[in-house]
Copies of this chain bind each other. A is one copy, B any other.
Amino acid sequence: MKIPLLALAALTLTAPALADESKPAPSPNEIVEAAPASDWVTIAPSDLIVMDLAPDRDGNKRRVVIQLMPPPFSQGWIGNIRKLAEAHWWDGTAITRVQDNYVVQWGDPDAEDKAKARPLPAGLTSVPESEYSSSSSQIWPIIKSAIGHETIGTPPPAHPVVLKDPYADSSLDWHGWPIGTDGGRMWPIHCYGMVGVGRNYSPDTGSGAELYTVIGTPPRHLDRNIALVGRVIEGMEYLSSLPRGHGLLGFYRNPEHRVPIRSIRLGYEASGLPAYQYLSTESTAFAKYEDARANRRDPFFIHPAGGADICNVPVPVRRAP
């Protein structure tokens, strides 16, 4: 965990002509950097939402970019979120809650006060609880082929790898997202940076107007209890490093501590947005990356784990080169 400065310098000087067996094993990041362009999938601007916060007290801009999930996941809520963004509904709302090791939450600070609450746009859908998960028939063939590969080995097995998981029969990365599954259903997983839909007590499932992201230990007990709609792919630090709130559940007691949201826009309506790509979870590079996350062979490590938690294998995302 210290930067081994001298050792790093030595590695940089290693001549590329050396035989393979004398090279250190690549780190997960090095595997990602070496992935061919064809293994990267460009994210459509219509699948991005862009949150511009008020500048920080030093005047620095704070932009958070969120990727929305593809079908079959949470499409009712995601449809609402698109409508809310198109209506510019969030402009002038705020981050209201920052609970350490749990979530940052944003929306209308007056949502619970009927007299002051900001009216929602027309046409939002009320989504049933059954939509917290989807039929897993699409991933059954994958799981069947992966049986016996729960412990990741050397050499890298055929991907995808199905992981041991205390919150699911098994979990895997599929079409770019962390997914849990039992016999018949599959559902997205609460990893760091995932974005979900605040709600009141069941049977309320939330409209999508109130959103949160995970800033600590994956709160996996929320899987299948709340809709997940996406993940933060850039600017996470503007949320995770906010001062913690000290009211009930981490809400800011003093309204002045809330962080103003200047605007939330769909990607195609946001100014100056670069193109983003994620590493295809169906690519060979991803299988190697996942294997390396589970079995660290790069020089710092002395005891490869032999397994991994799905949330400790984050799907690589980058700005398109």
Known: A217-B191, A224-B303. A198 touches B101 (CB 8 A): no
Write out, one digit per residue, whether chain A residues 209-240 have a CB within 8 A of any chain B CB (1) or not (0).
01010011111111111100000000011001
Query: Separation in Å of the A288 CB from the closest CB of chain B?
Result: 16
Is the beta-carbon distance between B237 and A244 smaller than 8 angstroms? yes
Complex interface: chain B residues within 8 A of A248 (CB): 3
- Distance between Cα atoms of A7 and B201 in the complex (Å): 8
Is the beta-carbon distance between A299 and B221 smaller than 8 angstroms? no
Asked if A118 is at the interface (CB within 8 A of a chain B CB), the reply is no
Write out, one digit per residue, whether chain A residues 93-136 have a CB within 8 A of any chain B CB (1) or not (0).
00000101101010100011000000000000000010010000
Is the beta-carbon distance between A206 and B237 smaller than 8 angstroms? no
Q: Which residue of B lies closest to A132 (CB)?
A: B303
Asked if A87 is at the interface (CB within 8 A of a chain B CB), the reply is no
Residue tally, chain A, CB below 8 Å to B: 73
Complex interface: chain B residues within 8 A of A249 (CB): 3
Asked if A200 is at the interface (CB within 8 A of a chain B CB), the reply is yes
Complex interface: chain B residues within 8 A of A197 (CB): 1
Is the beta-carbon distance between A1 and B240 smaller than 8 angstroms? no
Complex interface: chain B residues within 8 A of A311 (CB): 217
Is the beta-carbon distance between B2 and A111 smaller than 8 angstroms? yes
Q: Which residue of B lies closest to A202 (CB)?
A: B302
Query: Separation in Å of the A4 CB from the closest CB of chain B?
Result: 4
- Distance between Cα atoms of A126 and B5 in the complex (Å): 20
Identify the stretch in A36-44, A158-166, A274-282 within 8 Å (CB) of chain B at 4 or more residues.
A158-166
